[in-house]
Structure 1
Amino acid sequence: MAEIAPLPSRPAAVIFDMDGLMLDSERAILESLRAAAVDHRAEIDPDWWLCLIGHTDAVCRARLRTHIGDSAAAALLDDVHARYVAIAERGLPHRPGIVALLDLLAAHDMPRAVATSTRSPLAQRKLEAAGLLKYFDVVCTSSDVAQPKPAPDVYLLAAERLRVAPSQCLVLEDSPTGVRAALAAGMTAVQVPDLLAPDEEARALGHRIVGSLADAQALIVPWLSTATAE
């Protein structure tokens, strides 16, 4: 693996995506989709669902309607939503390394926010059920902004609520859609891919791509003891 360039400066805040980055929710939603498709006798290739990862509910619904038709998509997605919410409210598994990273940032009083494409109040319920809500100063969702990712709105809102300049924010994301949103906001982005490996188009964005949250933590650690220049 190529060496990852160090961060250019000490971040003044770290902003986290939620699904696929902190919570192992992508697998849960894909299993819900696949199980519902079987029950509804929808003939969909199991790998097709990967094209929905990182997109808003509206985008996912539109793609599924195009794929199988309006009425079939509506019935299937109502079933999926019920299955997935039941799983999420029991508490989704964490992605490896997230608690260690959040504990470290909290110990150094690094401001932290969530910027997610999940709508409110489901986003807060998912974080609470997983035991992660307590780590964050701010939670921003797609319900709070006019345009979802890849527009920068949710990241700009998180920076505003943290009272930190966007250029001083470090973003951790798993999807290319989220990375585009962070870069459009003028932030430093580090991608920690989950189910989807970055393609050439994503790599051309020029951001840092690491193999795990532990690798992302290793980029941050050298700056944690560095006082912000006055």
Structure 2
Amino acid sequence: MSVTSVSDTYKSLGVYSGDSKAEEDSGNLGIDDFLKLMTTELENQDPLDPMDNSQMLSQIASFATVTGIDDLQTSFSSFADNMESSQSVQASALIGNSVLIESSVGNMTEDEGLSGQIYVSDDVTDLTVKIYSEEGELIKTLEIGEASGYTDFTWDGQNEEGEVMEPGPYQFVASGTIDGENTSFATATVGTVESIVLGSDEGIILNLTGIGSVLFSDALEIT
């Protein structure tokens, strides 16, 4: 948001009356209204498509150049509390949704099997994904073949003999040949949000079924 004058700022926020006295007295009022509007925007945003952090920081920085840092800091403590509450509401709305996280462990279910994603750093022609039990036993080798960049995969839960394995957590390793050398690749998996933990020093924690706990901020994608 580009701000060139006090009046322009208040007009954009809908709190500018147009007379000089209102402009003189609008210091604290303007800050309060700005924070209320920002909080309302956060509370009503789509949790699956939240406000871009850079956009929010740009708005705050622009407003600070008009009102003064000291005045903004006085009111920002209350805004921070409201923003934390808003984030908690957003996180609560994620329960039951699927998130993509960087991991080498995924949860296999009877209905959907196990889904994941591989980042292939260079073109390969022999990409494979090996599925292991928690005890380290090789269960299945998925022959993907040619791949480059982000590559999705799905395991139907069957072993090499076609037997359906028990639902639960399984490890997987992706590899392929680059320049004649066997190379391992970064992997991610899709997990279902079972519950959330608030108040942690590290931020909001998502508990994913069969996978464990991850930070809300570490979610790569939410569906």
* Structure with more strand by fraction: 2
- Using structure 1 for the length normalisation, give the TM-score: 0.27
Higher CA-based Rg? 2
* Structure with more helix by fraction: 1
Select the structure with the greater relative contact order (CA < 8 A; seq sep ≥ 6): 1
